[in-house]
């Protein structure tokens, strides 16, 4: 029989839930409902699960669990990374470099900062959507504090030369952020191999429920955290 529904092919938009993910999550929507921050019995299993999840994400990215901050998704991770570094380093410089093909969750944050006294350079891309690393480096200035270049593009899948850009940025003491929402789960993503200081993850692109993401923050990276407390 022909299905009355259109065929779903937009896995870069979002993925359905993997049954293994549902099975892992279900106990915590049911009997294991405790607050992981609670010191009593009901908090123990949820806390262990959060720690295990943090370790799994860290293993996936090749970093330490303490370098993972859970977020609500790619948008929050990008906002936290760029806004947090801008606030932490504004005394040192107010220039940020990014590319013309970033997701709005990067470009809009940068534009918002530009409206608050930061300077923004948006480097154009070629006909395949790829940015030239040398062209990005040519935009660096003594007051550049951050460069944000996505790993894989969400519209056309182009892979950006993040590793090359990171080498050039680090020579100048510039922090490097990459939005890996579209690459994680499809190609290897390792923070040391890429040489990045911050990396954004969106769970719902890799079979997790909506509303889950992560931000990798390399140890000792100057960043103002959005959330304090529990």
Ligand X SMILES: Cc1ncc(COP(=O)(O)O)c(C=O)c1O
CB of 106 to ligand X, least distance (A): 7
CB of 224 to ligand X, least distance (A): 20
Among 46, 73, 84, 93, binds ligand X (CB under 6 A): 73
Among 94, 97, 213, 215, binds ligand X (CB under 6 A): 213
Please state at what angle helix 74-89 crosses helix 104-114, rounded to 10 degrees.
Answer: 30
Among 150, 166, 168, 198, binds ligand X (CB under 6 A): 150
184 lines the binding site for ligand X (CB under 6 A): no
75 lines the binding site for ligand X (CB under 6 A): yes
Residues numbered 80 to 109 that lie near ligand X (CB under 6 A) are 103, 105
CB of 141 to ligand X, least distance (A): 26
Number of residues near ligand X (by CB under 6 A): 14
Among 174, 179, 214, 218, binds ligand X (CB under 6 A): 179
Contact segment (CB under 6 A) with ligand X among 62-70, 74-82, 113-121, 167-175 equals 74-82
CB of 206 to ligand X, least distance (A): 10
Binding site for ligand X (CB under 6 A): 73-75, 78, 103, 105, 150, 154, 179, 181-182, 202, 204, 213
């Amino acid at each position: 029989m022909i299905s009355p529904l259109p065929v779903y092919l937009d896995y870069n938009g979002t993925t359905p839930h993997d049954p293994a993910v549902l099975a892992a999550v279900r106990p915590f929507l049911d009997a294991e409902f405790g607050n992981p921050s609670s010191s009593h019995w009901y908090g123990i299993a949820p806390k262990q699960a959060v720690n295990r999840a943090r370790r799994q994400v860290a293993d996936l990215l090749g970093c330490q669990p303490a370098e993972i901050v859970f977020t609500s998704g790619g948008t929050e991770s990008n906002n936290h990374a760029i806004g947090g570094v801008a606030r932490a380093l504004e005394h040192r410089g107010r220039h940020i470099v990014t590319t013309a093909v970033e997701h709005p969750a990067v470009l809009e944050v940068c534009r918002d900062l530009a409206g608050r006294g930061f300077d923004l350079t948006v480097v154009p891309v070629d006909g395949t959507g790829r940015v030239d690393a040398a062209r990005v480096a040519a935009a660096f200035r003594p007051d550049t504090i951050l460069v944000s270049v996505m790993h894989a593009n969400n519209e056309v899948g182009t892979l950006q030369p993040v590793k090359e850009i990171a080498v050039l940025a680090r020579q100048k003491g510039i922090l490097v952020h990459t939005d890996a929402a579209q690459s994680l789960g499809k190609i290897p993503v390792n923070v040391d191999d890429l040489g990045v200081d911050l990396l954004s993850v969106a769970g719902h692109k890799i079979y997790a429920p909506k509303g889950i993401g992560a931000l990798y923050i390399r140890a000792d990276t100057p960043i103002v955290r959005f959330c304090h407390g529990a």
